């Protein structure tokens, strides 16, 4: 007795016929389920040979996981070269600060003795400040040399140049002398024609150019301080603090200090006090700012050098703790 298939049997048979292949062979078994610890990518790709696993693992370990105290840790050198030789500039800082204090004392004593003439005509005053200039330029050249050896140049920061900083300091020393001559020439022209606007424009331009030229070596030191990681504000204050002190001293003199001291005639003490306010106070602030800026710059250079030496010593220690290399694999003879 045969029965006709119902609607459900028709759907089942038709789907089975669509899915089943036209063969009498049994269906293949399902693929094995991967282990819970294996990821889908690991399950899809075959595992490498056991002899290749250590080599692949060593090449993918980052350098940050290197530990000197662990002999089995992979070797990643911190430094590839020993620290360079740098100059000891601390003695230049001390001599520069001492020479600046001596220069201030010489100016005040010369004024008290009544022998204070023009700066360019008094050898007693010129010699200490000439020594200060030589020490300052020498310190800058050596500091820039050390910075160039320790910190390489980048795409946005040029390498420190000792020759460039020497040229900038020489221009900064010559700019006030040139500006003073322009002001003297303008004073003579004003005596002939007080309404000459061209002389006023030339004088203002000369003073402005003098200001920019004097600021250039300080700006260069500020840029190099940023490059090596030193606080740039301290180096920038090397220029701005003495300038603000000069403005304050001029205001004190303009607000009546000179008239108060000259009521009954200027004595030696009163002249010395006036020179101490107008010159001694800004010079002392400049000496303190110079000491702070040079000390900060040298300390950062010293810290960088010590870090380089420490990393180089760790690299040498890690090299001595590396296991000896294994035997070389035999090579196949060349085919004839």
238 in any annotated domain: yes
| Residue 53: per-residue pLDDT | 40
- pLDDT, residue 20, reads 43
Q: So what's the pLDDT on residue 10?
A: 45
* 173 within some domain: yes
In a domain, 332, yes or no: no
Q: How many domains does the chain have?
A: 1
Of 4-13, 62-71, 322-331, the range with the highest mean pLDDT is 322-331
Task: Report yes or no on 336 lying in a domain.
Answer: no
Residue 197 CA to residue 186 CA, distance in Å, equals 11
State residue 176's pLDDT score.
93
pLDDT at 211 over 70: yes
Give the pLDDT of residue 188. Answer: 87
- pLDDT bin (cut points 50, 70, 90) of residue 75 is low
Asked if the structure places residue 290 within a domain, the reply is yes
Domain with 225, as residue range(s), is: 90-315
- pLDDT of res. 54: 40
Contact at 8 Å (CB) between 189 and 199? yes
**Does residue 320 fall inside a structural domain?**
no
77 to 306, 307, 310: CA distances (angstroms): 17, 14, 12
Answer whether residue 309 shows pLDDT above 70: yes
- Give tens-digit pLDDT for 33-68: 555 544 444 444 444 444 434 443 444 444 444 455
CA distances, 254 to each of 268, 280, 302 (Å): 20, 17, 45
What the block records as the tokens of 61 is 């370990």
Is residue 312's pLDDT more than 50?
yes
With a CB cutoff of 8 Å and minimum separation 6, the contacts of 261 are 270, 271, 273, 274
Q: What is the mean pLDDT of residues 156-180?
A: 93
Compute the distance between CA of residue 115 and CA of residue 122 in angstroms, rounded to an integer.
8
The mean pLDDT of 74-87, rounded to a whole number, is 83
Residue 80 is classified by DSSP as S
158 and 126 in contact (C-beta within 8 Å)? no
Q: Which pLDDT tens digit goes with each residue over 245-299? A: 999 999 988 888 877 777 777 788 888 888 889 999 999 999 999 999 999 999 9
Give the model confidence (pLDDT) of 83-138 as tens digits. 999 998 999 999 999 999 999 999 888 888 876 555 556 778 889 999 999 999 99
Residue at 7 is within a domain: no
Task: Please indicate, yes or no, if residue 135 is contained in any of the structural domains.
Answer: yes
């Amino acid at each position: 007795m045969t029965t006709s298939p119902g609607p459900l049997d028709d759907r089942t048979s038709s789907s089975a016929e669509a899915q089943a292949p036209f063969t009498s062979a049994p269906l293949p078994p399902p693929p094995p389920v991967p282990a819970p610890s294996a990821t889908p990518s690991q399950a899809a790709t075959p595992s490498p040979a056991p002899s290749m696993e250590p080599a692949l693992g060593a090449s993918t370990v980052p350098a940050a996981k290197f530990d000197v105290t662990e002999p089995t840790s992979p070797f990643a050198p911190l430094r590839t070269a020993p620290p360079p030789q740098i100059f000891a500039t601390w003695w230049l800082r001390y001599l520069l600060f001492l020479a600046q204090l001596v220069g201030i004392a010489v100016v005040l004593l010369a004024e008290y003795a009544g022998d204070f003439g023009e700066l360019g005509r008094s050898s007693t005053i010129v010699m200490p400040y000439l020594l200060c200039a030589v020490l300052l330029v020498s310190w800058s050249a050596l500091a820039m040399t050390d910075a160039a050896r320790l910190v390489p140049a980048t795409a946005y920061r040029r390498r420190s140049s000792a020759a460039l900083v020497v040229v900038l300091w020489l221009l900064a020393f010559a700019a006030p002398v040139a500006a003073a001559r322009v002001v003297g020439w303008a004073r003579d022209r004003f005596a002939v024609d007080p309404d000459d606007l061209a002389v006023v424009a030339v004088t203002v331009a000369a003073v402005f150019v003098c200001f920019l030229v004097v600021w250039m070596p300080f700006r260069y030191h500020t840029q190099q301080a940023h490059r090596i990681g030193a606080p740039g504000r301290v180096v920038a204050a090397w220029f701005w603090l003495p300038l603000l002190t000069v403005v304050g001293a001029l205001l004190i003199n303009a607000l009546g200090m000179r008239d108060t001291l000259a009521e009954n005639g200027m004595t030696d003490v009163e002249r010395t006090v006036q020179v101490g306010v107008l010159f001694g106070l800004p010079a002392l602030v400049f000496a303190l700012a110079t000491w702070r800026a040079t000390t900060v710059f040298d300390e950062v250079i010293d810290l960088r050098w010590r870090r380089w030496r420490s990393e180089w010593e760790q690299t040498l220690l890690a090299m001595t703790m590396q296991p000896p290399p294994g035997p070389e694999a035999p090579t196949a003879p060349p085919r004839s």
